[in-house]
């Protein structure tokens, strides 16, 4: 029997809400044998002006720094899975940059990856480096091609 939610996408920004969403995705994945993708997005147009360089390109050193930070978030989730000896079918991590809005990037990624469920936090961390905001969840709910579960 095929599971209803075979591929779960979880946007991660380091906030408590995004980690709560990941925890929920893990529990659902164990039940349904779903694959999980943890995704972190760095917009090329940052909130406090355009520090993105020519044609919206992210300076390599900044992208590398952000990628390292995202890797810590992913490892925190993966380490908890290992510590708790949970059986997850498959977990994938990805860090992308986008000239689009965060909402558009999540929705587009979900469509290209054939995501069957997006699980995300109600709010994210605000500030220069962390871009997942409460309005992001609302936008994803509005435009996603698949169900979206928003977690506190």
> For residue 21, what are the domain limits?
7-151
96 in any annotated domain:
yes
Residue 23: name the closest of 83, 65, 102, 68 by CA.
83
Q: Using CA of residue 29, residue 96, residue 138, residue 21, what is the dihedral sign? A: positive
1 in any annotated domain:
no
Q: Is the pTM of this model over 0.95?
A: no
Mean pLDDT of the 10-34 span: 94
pLDDT tens-place string over residues 38-69? 999 998 865 444 444 445 567 888 899 999 99
Residue 131: name the closest of 13, 15, 6, 1 by CA.
13
135 in any annotated domain:
yes
Beta sheet of 7-11, edge-to-edge order:
90-98, 35-43, 7-11, 117-121, 148-151
CB neighbour list of residue 7: distance below 8 Å, 6 or more residues apart: 34, 35, 37, 113, 114, 115, 116, 117
2 in any annotated domain:
no
pLDDT of 76 > 50? The answer is yes
42 in any annotated domain:
yes
Output the pLDDT for position 60.
85
32 in any annotated domain:
yes
pLDDT of 121 > 70? The answer is yes
Indicate the number of domains in the chain: 1
CATH code for position 144: 3.40.50.620
pLDDT of 152 > 50? The answer is yes
Mean pLDDT, the chain, rounded, equals 86
């Amino acid at each position: 029997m095929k599971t209803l939610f075979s591929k779960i996408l979880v946007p991660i920004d380091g906030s408590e809400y995004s980690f709560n969403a990941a925890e929920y995705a893990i529990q659902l994945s164990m039940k349904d044998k779903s694959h999980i993708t943890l995704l972190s997005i760095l917009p090329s147009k940052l909130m406090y002006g355009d520090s993105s360089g020519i044609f919206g390109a992210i300076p390599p050193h900044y992208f590398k720094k952000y990628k390292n930070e995202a890797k810590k978030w992913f490892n925190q989730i993966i380490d908890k899975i290992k510590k708790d000896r949970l059986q997850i079918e498959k977990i994938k991590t990805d860090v992308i940059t986008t000239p689009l809005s965060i909402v558009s990037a999540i929705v587009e990624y979900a469509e290209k990856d054939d995501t069957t469920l997006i699980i995300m936090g109600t709010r994210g961390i605000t500030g220069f480096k962390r871009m997942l905001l409460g309005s992001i969840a609302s936008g994803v709910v509005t435009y996603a091609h698949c169900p979206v579960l928003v977690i506190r």
